Structure 1
Amino acid sequence: MSKNRSLLRSQQFPAILLLGAALVGLLIANTPAHDPVAGVLHSLLSLPGTSISLPVTEWISDGILVIFFFVVALELRYEVTRGDLNSIGKAVQPAIAATGGILVPVLVYLAVAQGSDTVSGWPIPTATDIAFALGVLAMFGRGLPTAVRAFLLALAILDDIVGIIFIAVLFATDVNFALLGLAIIGVIAFGALSYFLRGRGGVLVAIVMVAIAVAVWLLVLQSGIHATIAGVALGLVMAPRPADHARHALEPWVNALILPIFAFAAAFVVIPRVAPSELSPAFWAVVLALPVGKIIGITAFGWLSLQVRPRGTPPTLAILDVVAAGALGGIGFTVSLLLANLAFAADPATSDQAILGVLVGSLIALVLSIALVSGRARYYRRRAPGKQHPAVKISDASEETIA
């Protein structure tokens, strides 16, 4: 069991599992098995004792995906307080690069989609999938300096922060501020109780916290704010040590079940049998914005960020390492899939094509990043064969704290 959990906490295997689930979803959606599976995914499930009744697909995106965002928030909290973003000096370079990795893909998307009714999809290519990007780096980057991983991790985390803000602000509808206020009170209570988890009665405190978390989720779900924001808020307020334990315990479940289930459901789209010229502008905009926009934006702004250093000191990264990080940043996947669903929630046909754009664009970025990362890794191994720097697991820091 411990070996299986270690595998699921690694960076390589979850990325493979996520890609496999998405490809299976896309394959089944385009076979005779489509109708029965679609029937299951779109069937309504009601929550006993409430008026909440949602299709299975929404239980996945608004329900179990909340746990993923909770773990993301725990990661954000760690990096901002004790990790790679805990000072202005550490954060300034990836923040500048992340700015380019957001602005340029948006401009590319708008340039392609201008004049159409798909311009509302501009947030889709702004995301970077941490699990995928770090997975590729771990698989193909043996020998790269550890500074490359730190730069990429900080860059992806900042992308996640922006993606969360987009979800909270752009896709809120008819906000019920009374319910939102009650949810905020619940979040405060959740955070306060987390400081008492280690004392006597810790089990009872944990049970109460779970009950509060469910209540907060229900309140946010009905408030008009996307329900995943509940997971973000709860993760950000947890006490440090319980947060480390929660992240350590939940990470295998997120990697093994939650993300693959979401990837399968999100990628369950029918490939339109039309000529390329008949595809939606949303498809082409995302396909170009993810690999092209990200690599140009991160490289250009990353080069600028390397100039922000004390005079006379060498850059922390070579520019070709920044190019490789830019290619990795183009793997949008998880959050981009969610943004595609949200941006075109009222237009399923366009949503499906935007999702296809995310899959194709991310695959292009995946191939580019494998080539670039492998090339840079070979360069460093030839240059200093005795000083290889294997990639570090994303969970190492929390495991050390727990120990």
Structure 2
Amino acid sequence: MTHPLRSPRLAAVLLLVAAGCGLALANSPASSVAFAVQHFSFGPAGTPFALDIGAWIADGLLTLFFFTVAVELQFELTAGQLRSARNALLPAIAAAGGVLVPIVVYLAVAAPSGLGRGWPVPTATDIAFALGVLAVFGRGLPARVRVFLLALAILDDIIGIVFIAVLFARDVNVGMLLLALVLVVAFGVLSRALGGRGARAIVAAMIVLAIGAWAAMLASGVHATIAGVLLGLAASQRPGMRVAHVLEPWVNGVVLPLFALSAALVTIPRTGSLSPVFWGIAIALPVGKLIGITGTALLAQRVLRVAPSDRIRFADLLAAAALGGIGFTVSLLLAGLAFADAPELRDQAVLGVLCGSLTALVVSAFVVSWRARAHRRQSA
């Protein structure tokens, strides 16, 4: 029997409920307690490992989520839909459009106020949320639409990972970074030795190496979740998929809801106007993604001379593009990183992510339902 927490529908619901609880807590009489818990610090004093609970969730637990994403990415690149350049080209172009247009929209709104540094925030697509909405409302959509969305979201995540690794590294300790890479390579080598004698000892050694790689990455100044990405890409495919399968219920049921709860602990301004940061993200996610993905995908199908029978229809592209506007998990992480030194702007960015993602969720639910009904009628 399939574990209920493997369901994309339930995972999306838990994420939404957790974010709602975080927002409600932060604006309730219990807010002081919630913030005290989030900022409670533990770990060896004077080291990079003296983190508060919010940071342990974002830098520690979220690494498991990035590991599972990287394992899925490795599979798609080697044995899945992205294994051939021809199959990957259309979603790659659409993903590029779905990144560039939101950046332009955000900068048009926020850059005149000197707040352009938040441009990476609306570039992300949340795979779990998008597939959850598709599972709830998309019964009857052609398989090629789901494949296109999955490939698009995975490529989108690659871009988000690059942003995290390149843009938000701070005072990089090259020695620690090299140590992390060596440990990742050793982890990958050991994963290929599984299946023979001494499997338990190898698994124990791999766990030690993975924790060591994470610790070295954190100490290097590069965001610690990148360790999860590298470990997922380095792992041998079969054991990697097995570990990701075991982790999936924990990631869906614990890691992502905890992160959403912690990230959504923001106070809604009671006086004054909302910042251009809020408006830039809240508009760029649903509108920028919709225009960017749909427009570039339509253009790419013509330029690549995709046969009419193999093309994704304009209305189906709209459905996938609307789902692409649900930024959520990675966008929340990028919001925290982009405005780490400005708590008020970070809160505005988080509110923008929640508002923009919710708008995209509602729009995508209507568009996906409309297209699914049309395809069901056509097939009947």
Q: Does TM, normalized by the shorter one, top 0.5?
A: yes
Alpha-carbon spacing, 1:313–1:379, altered in 2? closer, same or farther (3 Å): closer
- Partner letter of residue 11 of structure 2? P
**Among 100, 112, 130, the residue aligned to 2:97:** 100
Paired with 1:173 and 1:9, the residues of 2 have a C-alpha distance of 36
Paired with 2:224 and 2:307, the residues of 1 have a C-alpha distance of 49
- 5+ residue gaps, structure 2, are none
**Among 364, 373, 378, the residue aligned to 1:378:** 373
Match of 1:193 in 2: 190
Q: Where in structure 2 are the equivalents of 1:25-44 lying within 5 Å?
A: 25-44=22-41
Match of 1:227 in 2: 224
Match of 1:297 in 2: 292
Alpha-carbon spacing, 1:125–1:144, altered in 2? closer, same or farther (3 Å): same
Paired with 2:108 and 2:375, the residues of 1 have a C-alpha distance of 38
State yes or no: 1:58 paired with 2:55: yes
Match of 1:264 in 2: 261
Shift of 1:304: 1.1
Q: Secondary structure at the match of 2:113?
A: coil
Paired with 1:181 and 1:311, the residues of 2 have a C-alpha distance of 44
Shift of 1:83: 0.8
Match of 1:138 in 2: 135
Q: TM-score normalized by structure 1?
A: 0.92
Q: Where in structure 2 are the equivalents of 1:302-317 lying within 5 Å?
A: 302-310=297-305, 313-317=308-312
Match of 2:354 in 1: 359
Q: Secondary structure at the match of 2:341?
A: coil
- Asked if the contact 1:71–1:251 (Cα under 8 Å) also holds between the matched residues in 2, the reply is yes
State yes or no: 1:8 paired with 2:5: yes
**Among 201, 209, 212, the residue aligned to 2:209:** 212
Q: Secondary structure at the match of 1:115?
A: helix
Paired with 2:185 and 2:155, the residues of 1 have a C-alpha distance of 24
- Asked if the contact 2:48–2:218 (Cα under 8 Å) also holds between the matched residues in 1, the reply is no
Paired with 1:334 and 1:49, the residues of 2 have a C-alpha distance of 30
- Partner letter of residue 217 of structure 2? V
Paired with 1:337 and 1:208, the residues of 2 have a C-alpha distance of 33
Match of 2:338 in 1: 343
Match of 2:69 in 1: 72
Number of residue equivalences: 380
Q: Where in structure 2 are the equivalents of 1:245-264 lying within 5 Å?
A: 245-264=242-261
- Asked if the contact 1:307–1:315 (Cα under 8 Å) also holds between the matched residues in 2, the reply is no
Out of 321-330 and 39-48, give the one that drifted further: 39-48
Shift of 1:311: 6.7
Q: Secondary structure at the match of 2:42?
A: strand
Match of 2:148 in 1: 151
State yes or no: 1:82 paired with 2:82: no
Shift of 1:118: 1.8
- 1:75-118 CA-to-partner distances (Å, cap 9, x unmatched) read 11011111111111110110111111000000000000122232
- Partner letter of residue 234 of structure 2? V
Alpha-carbon spacing, 1:311–1:205, altered in 2? closer, same or farther (3 Å): closer
- Partner letter of residue 329 of structure 1? G
State yes or no: 1:368 paired with 2:349: no
Q: TM-score normalized by structure 2?
A: 0.98
State yes or no: 1:24 paired with 2:21: yes
Shift of 1:376: 0.3
- Asked if the contact 2:184–2:234 (Cα under 8 Å) also holds between the matched residues in 1, the reply is yes
- Partner letter of residue 381 of structure 1? R
- 1:237-258 CA-to-partner distances (Å, cap 9, x unmatched) read 0001101101111111100000
Moved >3 Å (runs of 4+) = 47-51, 308-313
Paired with 1:101 and 1:16, the residues of 2 have a C-alpha distance of 25
Shift of 1:312: 5.3
Q: Secondary structure at the match of 1:154?
A: helix
- Asked if the contact 2:63–2:227 (Cα under 8 Å) also holds between the matched residues in 1, the reply is yes
Alpha-carbon spacing, 1:270–1:289, altered in 2? closer, same or farther (3 Å): same
- Asked if the contact 1:106–1:122 (Cα under 8 Å) also holds between the matched residues in 2, the reply is yes
Paired with 2:286 and 2:328, the residues of 1 have a C-alpha distance of 12
Percent identity for Structure 1 against Structure 2? 56
Shift of 1:313: 4.2
- Partner letter of residue 275 of structure 2? S
- Asked if the contact 1:306–1:315 (Cα under 8 Å) also holds between the matched residues in 2, the reply is no
Match of 1:399 in 2: none
Alpha-carbon spacing, 1:81–1:312, altered in 2? closer, same or farther (3 Å): closer
Paired with 2:132 and 2:45, the residues of 1 have a C-alpha distance of 39
- Asked if the contact 1:147–1:316 (Cα under 8 Å) also holds between the matched residues in 2, the reply is no
- 1:23-60 CA-to-partner distances (Å, cap 9, x unmatched) read 01101111001001111110111159966211111001
- Partner letter of residue 357 of structure 2? S
Match of 1:178 in 2: 175
- Partner letter of residue 104 of structure 1? V
Paired with 1:173 and 1:231, the residues of 2 have a C-alpha distance of 18
- 1:324-376 CA-to-partner distances (Å, cap 9, x unmatched) read 11100000000000000000000000000100000000000000000000000
- 5+ residue gaps, structure 1, are 386-403
Paired with 2:117 and 2:164, the residues of 1 have a C-alpha distance of 13
- Partner letter of residue 156 of structure 1? A
